Amino acid sequence: MAYDILVTGGAGYLGSTMVPALLAAGHRVTVLDSFMFRQTSLNHVCHDPNFSVVKGDIRVESTIAPLLKKADIVIPLAALVGAPMCNQDPVGAKTVNHDAILMMLRLMSRQQRILMPTTNSAYGTGDENNFCTEESPLRPISLYAREKVAIEGELMQRENAISFRLATVFGMSPRMRIDLLVNDFTYRAVHDRFVVLFEGDFKRNYVHVRDVARVFLHGLANFEAMRGQIYNVGLSEANVSKRELCQHIAKQVPDFVFQDAAVGKDPDQRNYIVSNAKLEATGFKPAVTLDAGIAELIKGFTMIKNTVHGNV
């Protein structure tokens, strides 16, 4: 069945991979984005008559209200993403990641469906075994994770909602982010050939950006069975430490050197192993392995050198 889908922040890292997938599945997609990064990541879908785009801010009620009225399904991706960005602009983070989402929930009818990405960074540091399921206590460390936890609580008051707690996402996307951990370490391996690890034994879970697009399509197709629930979304075989991640990269970049820092702490104290069994029980399994994603990133970073100043 084809739906009218509103994707806020649809030109971002997740959206620029997800929107083409939604269109390919036959849905009508409207993207609302501020284009704050001046990205051109949706150029390749402008030919599609089922694609509409609005430049605007999700915090402005007169902008978002008429778009919500026309939508069967809302996928709110617009956010100031990640701890560093939220710490840099805490007011923006609160108004975009929290207040604007509450306004959107208020404007939506109970019949409208919402599929929302939240974050498994909410687990912070797990129990003594660092093992987390959807039932585990939330210990968000960063402002970003705290806002996402607060919104998820509001979201789960609705019957017609699914929350996908995403693992750390990796892989190439039309609106690229180099700051995500797998992407960052692979970029350093390609261009610098070394990385220094702070707390290299800290573990977390990972998922490819294309599998994020796939899980949203899976949620649409199985909405009645999955609604009102929270699901961890990650590669079960990729609950790996930073050191193990570097070992994966070194298999493909042989002269990559990584070593533990003698002093200092990582400001990001996340350390957890995540169970994705609940999602897998619905019939979903990620398709892109960590090694395949690293191979793709190596190709991508052959083309991308993230430098503004300098002669080389």
Average pLDDT over residues 162-178: 96
Is residue 70 in a domain? yes
Average pLDDT over residues 243-263: 95
pLDDT given for residue 121 in this prediction: 82
Res. 222 pLDDT band, cuts 50 70 90 = very high
Its domain, for residue 153, covers 4-170+209-235+274-286
Res. 126 pLDDT band, cuts 50 70 90 = low
Burial class (CB in 10 A: 0-12, 13-18, 19+), 302: exposed
Residue 127: pLDDT above 60?
no
Q: Lowest-pLDDT range, 122-131, 233-242, 270-279?
A: 122-131
Tell me the CA distances in angstroms from 177 to 3, 82, 180, one per residue in order. Answer: 29, 11, 7
CB of 238 within 8 A of CB of 290?
Answer: yes
Q: Who contacts 82 (Cβ-Cβ below 8 Å, separation ≥6)?
A: 144, 179
Query: How far is 132 from 221, CA to CA, in rounded Å?
Result: 27
Is residue 55 in a domain? yes
Residue 212: pLDDT above 70?
yes
Is residue 219 in a domain? yes
- Cα-Cα-Cα-Cα torsion 260, 261, 266, 269, nearest 10 degrees, comes to 40
pTM check: above 0.85: yes
Average pLDDT over residues 193-204: 93
Kindly report, residue by residue over 228-251, the tens digit of the pLDDT. Answer: 999 999 999 999 999 999 999 999
Residue 266: pLDDT above 90?
no
Is residue 26 in a domain? yes
Is residue 265 in a domain? no
CB of 149 within 8 A of CB of 195?
Answer: no
Burial class (CB in 10 A: 0-12, 13-18, 19+), 277: exposed
pLDDT given for residue 151 in this prediction: 92
Which letter does DSSP use for residue 121 in this model?
A: G
**Closest to 169 (Cα-Cα) out of 49, 68, 297, 277:** 297
CATH code for position 78: 3.40.50.720
More confident residue, 299 or 263: 299
CB of 135 within 8 A of CB of 79?
Answer: no
Residue 24, H or E segment: helix 15-24
CB of 86 within 8 A of CB of 97?
Answer: yes
**How many helices (H) does the chain have, and how many strands (E)?**
12, 14
Tell me the CA distances in angstroms from 211 to 21, 216, 224, 252, one per residue in order. Answer: 11, 9, 21, 22
Average pLDDT over residues 301-310: 82
234: helix, strand or coil: coil
Strand-pairing partners, residue 195, are: 258
Is residue 307 in a domain? no
Is residue 22 in a domain? yes
CB of 168 within 8 A of CB of 182?
Answer: yes
Q: Who contacts 69 (Cβ-Cβ below 8 Å, separation ≥6)?
A: none
Q: Beta strands 4-8 and 73-76: pairing type? A: parallel
Residue 310: pLDDT above 80?
no
Residue 259: pLDDT above 60?
yes
User: What share of the chain has pLDDT > 70, as a percent?
Assistant: 97
pLDDT given for residue 312 in this prediction: 62
Kindly report, residue by residue over 139-159, the tens digit of the pLDDT. Answer: 888 888 888 899 999 999 999
Average pLDDT, the chain: 93
Query: How far is 60 from 75, CA to CA, in rounded Å?
Result: 17
pLDDT given for residue 17 in this prediction: 98
Query: How far is 217 from 210, CA to CA, in rounded Å?
Result: 11
pLDDT given for residue 309 in this prediction: 72
Query: How far is 199 from 271, CA to CA, in rounded Å?
Result: 10
Is residue 130 in a domain? yes
Rg (alpha carbons) of the chain, rounded to whole number: 19
Kindly report, residue by residue over 13-48, the tens digit of the pLDDT. Answer: 999 999 999 999 999 999 999 999 999 999 999 999
pLDDT given for residue 283 in this prediction: 98
Q: How many domains does the chain have?
A: 1
